[in-house]
Amino acid sequence: MGIRVAVAGASGYAGGELLRLLAGHPEFDLVAATAHTQAGARVSAVHPQLAGLDLTLAETGPATLADADLVFLALPHGQSAALAAQLPAGVRVVDLGADHRLADAAAWTRYYGGTHAGAWTYGLPELPGARAAIAGSERVAATGCYAAATSLALAPLIAAGAVEPADVVVVASSGTSGAGRAAKVNLLGSEVMGDLTPYKVGAHQHVPEIKQATGATGLSFTPVLAPMPRGILATVTARPTGSADAREVLAAAYADAPFVHLLPEGAWPHTAATLGSNSCHLQVATDVDSGRVIVTSAIDNLGKGAAGQAVQCANLMFDLPETTGLSVFGVAP
Amino acid sequence: MGIRVAVAGASGYAGGELLRLLAGHPEFDLVAATAHTQAGARVSAVHPQLAGLDLTLAETGPATLADADLVFLALPHGQSAALAAQLPAGVRVVDLGADHRLADAAAWTRYYGGTHAGAWTYGLPELPGARAAIAGSERVAATGCYAAATSLALAPLIAAGAVEPADVVVVASSGTSGAGRAAKVNLLGSEVMGDLTPYKVGAHQHVPEIKQATGATGLSFTPVLAPMPRGILATVTARPTGSADAREVLAAAYADAPFVHLLPEGAWPHTAATLGSNSCHLQVATDVDSGRVIVTSAIDNLGKGAAGQAVQCANLMFDLPETTGLSVFGVAP
Amino acid sequence: MGIRVAVAGASGYAGGELLRLLAGHPEFDLVAATAHTQAGARVSAVHPQLAGLDLTLAETGPATLADADLVFLALPHGQSAALAAQLPAGVRVVDLGADHRLADAAAWTRYYGGTHAGAWTYGLPELPGARAAIAGSERVAATGCYAAATSLALAPLIAAGAVEPADVVVVASSGTSGAGRAAKVNLLGSEVMGDLTPYKVGAHQHVPEIKQATGATGLSFTPVLAPMPRGILATVTARPTGSADAREVLAAAYADAPFVHLLPEGAWPHTAATLGSNSCHLQVATDVDSGRVIVTSAIDNLGKGAAGQAVQCANLMFDLPETTGLSVFGVAP
Amino acid sequence: MGIRVAVAGASGYAGGELLRLLAGHPEFDLVAATAHTQAGARVSAVHPQLAGLDLTLAETGPATLADADLVFLALPHGQSAALAAQLPAGVRVVDLGADHRLADAAAWTRYYGGTHAGAWTYGLPELPGARAAIAGSERVAATGCYAAATSLALAPLIAAGAVEPADVVVVASSGTSGAGRAAKVNLLGSEVMGDLTPYKVGAHQHVPEIKQATGATGLSFTPVLAPMPRGILATVTARPTGSADAREVLAAAYADAPFVHLLPEGAWPHTAATLGSNSCHLQVATDVDSGRVIVTSAIDNLGKGAAGQAVQCANLMFDLPETTGLSVFGVAP
């Protein structure tokens, strides 16, 4: 008898990827998946890639979730805090949403609106000390997709004093699944194929999360929507301090991390190489003209940026090897 | 100590997918991967999605392969027969190429040129009697990608007498990985994105294989190159005989097949839903105007159309459950 | 002072393409563009590709249209007939919708529902006698996108007796703009990229239009949604009668057609090669196994399949050269 | 009798786009197109989108070009200088390559290698004073694609003292046609679809051109390859000086520029909206956290980034309206 697991918000893209990962997980038993407007539908009718999975979506609520040992929340921001508050102590919870990520309540209110529900353990296992903190927590807020790609590139450099935290410039492009599954004209295939477009320029809600996770004190962050279903490529630039070599810092930081790969010199990250995996591919260079350190980082936004990250955290919470049920390798081409 | 496995032709797309599947297979130990011009390169330099796989490509030849219990051949047609002839008896071999698929030597010579090397057990496990034949064979010729998609849609209907074998019309579209990894201008991203184009119209080399696998006696087959890396969608039409219901025939044929899913009425196959999996999704309808039976079939051309199919055959050859190391679920969106 | 032109239904994809073509047309003056929910918006806010076009969308209705010399209707089926009935005689009208295409009222009701509004001159100029009929008409129903691609491939062959009309099989794949601009989950970029899927299999509403335009008496038609914004590739197969050579028939039929190109032997149609143009590219082959004639046909579904076709018809209605304001050449790569 | 025009290097992507534009240009008569390995081929065999263009590729060399009034050079760097030197005075030349763009010979040698052939008038008409300089020149070096997108966003801001020139950070993503038409594995559709990857990080050859065109003194430039055939999206960030408003500066700079559109507030550039056009779409914002000015810029890399730009320059050289034969509007969706 394995660990009983439920997914709330299973009709979206992150929810679907969670179901896929959980269906193949050797220790977690998927016992319930819930949704709101899609409640009552077969999972395979909502997620055609899960044809053969014998499960029906239940209505999201504590009644359908409280019986599980572990609950994943893949809900819009604002909703997960309300639901989590109704789950009994003892049920471990991993929230894929933003409600519990920020320690700074004022920052939360400024970017998301409403009242801050309080911070949980931040779920990016590769940050210093994070594995132990996650393993000892009953409630974990898994990192967001842009924050995952950016923080893995940047956090060790700031922590080691290799780059200045006050002048970080990030441009990050995401596949369309990062924008969710709501039916919107600007997300139609006809509109996004062949197109690159920036959005929320100047004030993206992930800025405070990235600053918190990395220690950056000044951050310019520009997100771009890219014509592909999945993947984030973050280009992170900062001024070197001269006190440490960026490559050596990254190599040391991830020497024992199974999912973070600092590529050999001359190889560049490809988002496609991370598809379906929980891996992050990094490369670092120094700009000959400006002298800036440039770290490029590729992840699958639904993998290391969402569902994979959440499962990795859950593995730690249940003392399982962190790679259990997750793939290091991407599905390419 | 597991079963020792080697892959010849590991630098191509089918070879890369084999390595990905074998790296996650619980019973097969990947001991060697070989290539020709890429021999000496790290696998992860050739297949960036395999970053973290500690393996170097050896030179293709019997010296690097004969030590394995099982060898997969993912080579251009003509090359696998020559290499297989040099492997000792007792080494089980699954050929992903065309050299040993056809029983009809004249047909082989007509479509491929050169001398026919002889037929092996045909590796499409879902055909009647095929599982036992494969399990009892040391040499298996795994089915081709177009033949897999088409035969799963058509073979049971002809076997059951539900459709006439003399007038089958198939149009099948494939993602670009089906055209291989050789650098050709017409396969550049700039040329294929946003484009659909037919090719080899009127005389495709997969026609005799499809006829052999399905029992069709008259076959019009038109392949189309589609703007996506993976996936085949085959539209198979034939005249009903009136003696059996097509839907019932397909449902019965695949009642116990873990990888073949006849979708509920109203749902249509999506190639994206099979990505990275070994599944085939089928749907059947009757054309109100012409009365033809139309079966549509979706697979991942590198999964059920190549590497996944080959691993499924190998599982049977080693008395493992046929799903071992393979995914039923696709990576989507 | 040019010919005063208005577009009703300018907020959709066909409407946007009409605006683009009309903005560059040397004889037509675009005086009004109308929409419903988007009325009041700047055209460039709805169609970002038209940045720089100084025009605001008016409310769709006779008040905003009756003042024009020529009105294009790019409306959902059912709406164009109602609006057309309110336009004064003397205003020439080209309808891009289906309301007036079919001569057979029963067929219209069966596939579209509701009452048939009556047939107008059918707007496919390359059909025998069509140019004169269009030139002499005040009301023209431009052909649909699938019907355009299919009929250009098939109509001359049936007219010449080169193929049998009773057993035609067509599989045609369309880019996503053919499915319109309504916000639907199944049309999101995340869902369609990397995906091929059939739809409306067995009973597509374009069947009676294709039969009427081509003379086919038995037609199996399967549409497929392809991962690209624009383009249709139709694969049309039929049995040869032996009484005429298909290639010669097509060459003769289009010898003087500026937009229809029978490609040299060995070249295959590419949808990308027709992007943004009003051209149709054709190629013909004979299947060695089945003996069927296979004609493949590529168009831009918004060009020769919608807006370009409509402008070509309008050119004829105003005694302009049929190529006025239209491009023969595609935008590629 | 129009102006006689020839294109050298007509087999590549920029060359093909030049032919498309010239075929529709009312004042320029396309009299010759040349290539090297493709010499002797029909243009439509090399560029299927030009089916119907009755022209054969000649061998590149002065013999086939010197008879023209105007020659466009679309050749690899190093080759255009050698050819241009053989063309008689009086033949006007627009070079789409890099050979004559840089005034700084040392910079040229550092990034391109070899001997600098000398600078020509720099062909970005929207720079201050550039129209007159181009109009008075017999030889013009049209700007590169990345430089066009970046300079239109940045040059007016530095010229007006609105931003500091010493700390400019640019991340720019390009469609695959920017990487050329040579057959390379890393440019295959199978590799690029679904993928974002940076390249030449830290030392891209366009850095000195951008610095020259904009006055930037410190520039971090990271190029990214994006999964689409065409388009560049540049994200340009710099520190404001406080002495001028960035939006007002850009609005004033392009008030009379027909091809550069500063979008209304709230609208963001889309590369797809510029496809096939010679337009550049700009938007500006201020980052709330870092205070940086962020300008995003979208062009068609083969339009305003190559062939369109070159035709615009040629129009000026022959005293034609700069929009002659060029489209302000993009082909979308």
In the 8-state DSSP scheme, what is residue A301?
Answer: T
Q: Give the DSSP letter string of C164-215.
A: -TT-EEEEEEE-GGGG-SS--GGGBHHHHTT--EE-STT--TTHHHHHHHH-
Q: Which residues of chain B have pLDDT under 70?
A: 1
pLDDT at D78: 86
Is D227 in contact with A226 (Cβ distance < 8 A)? yes
Which tokens belong to C235? 């694969």
- What does the pLDDT average to over C268-291? 97
pLDDT top residue among C203 and B220: B220
pLDDT at A112: 86
Per-residue pLDDT of chain A (333 residues; tens, 9 = 90+): 689 999 999 999 999 999 999 999 999 999 999 999 999 999 999 999 999 999 999 999 999 998 999 999 999 888 999 999 999 999 999 999 999 999 999 988 888 888 899 999 999 999 999 999 999 999 999 999 999 999 999 999 999 999 999 999 999 999 999 999 999 999 999 999 999 999 999 888 899 999 999 999 999 999 999 999 999 999 999 999 999 999 999 999 999 999 999 999 999 999 999 999 999 999 999 999 999 999 999 999 999 999 999 999 999 999 999 999 999 999 999
Is C220 in contact with B294 (Cβ distance < 8 A)? yes
Per-residue pLDDT of chain D (333 residues; tens, 9 = 90+): 689 999 999 999 999 999 999 999 999 999 999 999 999 999 999 999 999 999 999 999 999 998 999 999 999 888 999 999 999 999 999 999 999 999 999 988 888 888 899 999 999 999 999 999 999 999 999 999 999 999 999 999 999 999 999 999 999 999 999 999 999 999 999 999 999 999 999 888 899 999 999 999 999 999 999 999 999 999 999 999 999 999 999 999 999 999 999 999 999 999 999 999 999 999 999 999 999 999 999 999 999 999 999 999 999 999 999 999 999 999 999
Question: Apex CA C174: angle with CA C169 and CA C178, to 5°?
Answer: 125
Closest partner residue to B296 among C201, C286, C291, by Cβ? Answer: C201
pLDDT at A1: 63
pLDDT at B111: 87
| Three-class DSSP labels, C50-84 | HCCCCCECEECCHHHHCCCCEEEECCCCCHHHHHH
Helices B207-214, B105-112: inter-axial angle, 10-degree rounding: 150
Chain A residues within an 8 Å CB radius of B263: 51
Q: Nearest chain B Cα to A277, which residue?
A: B49
> CB of C202 within 8 Å of any CB in chain B?
yes
CB contact set of B265 (below 8 Å; sequence gap of 6+): none
The predicted-structure confidence for C99-144, as pLDDT tens digits, reads as follows 999 999 998 888 888 889 999 999 999 999 999 999 999 999 999 9
Q: Nearest chain B Cα to A229, which residue?
A: B333
Question: Apex CA A325: angle with CA A322 and CA A328, to 5°?
Answer: 75
Closest partner residue to D176 among B176, B190, B227, by Cβ? Answer: B190
> CB of B107 within 8 Å of any CB in chain C?
no
Q: Give the DSSP letter string of D2-58.
A: -EEEEEESTTSHHHHHHHHHHHT-SSEEEEEEEESTTTTSBHHHH-GGGTT---BPE
End-to-end CA distance of chain A: give it in Å, rounded.
37
Question: What distance in Å separates residue C229's CA from the closest CA in chain D?
Answer: 6
Mutate which of B191, B196, B225, B232 to test chain D, going by most D C-beta atoms within 10 A? B191
Closest CA to D329 of A224, C16, C315, C329: C16
Is B229 in contact with D189 (Cβ distance < 8 A)? yes
> CB of B190 within 8 Å of any CB in chain D?
yes
Q: What is the pTM of this model?
A: 0.97
- Active-site residue flag, A145: yes
The predicted-structure confidence for C157-183, as pLDDT tens digits, reads as follows 999 999 999 999 999 999 999 999 999
End-to-end CA distance of chain B: give it in Å, rounded.
37
Is A231 in contact with D271 (Cβ distance < 8 A)? no
- What does the pLDDT average to over C179-198? 98
- Stretch (H or E) spanning C314: helix C308-317
pLDDT at B1: 63
Is D197 in contact with A268 (Cβ distance < 8 A)? yes
Q: Nearest chain D Cα to B228, which residue?
A: D193
CB contact set of C255 (below 8 Å; sequence gap of 6+): none
* Phi/psi of residue D281, nearest 5 degrees: -110, 130
- Amino acid identity at C210: I
Q: Nearest chain D Cα to B226, which residue?
A: D189
Mutate which of C13, C49, C193 to test chain A, going by most A C-beta atoms within 10 A? C193
pLDDT at A87: 95
Judge contact between C309 and C254, C-beta under 8 A. Answer: no
Is A270 in contact with D202 (Cβ distance < 8 A)? no
Question: Is the pLDDT reported for residue C1 higher than 80?
Answer: no
- What does the pLDDT average to over C301-317? 98
Tell me: ipTM over 0.90: yes
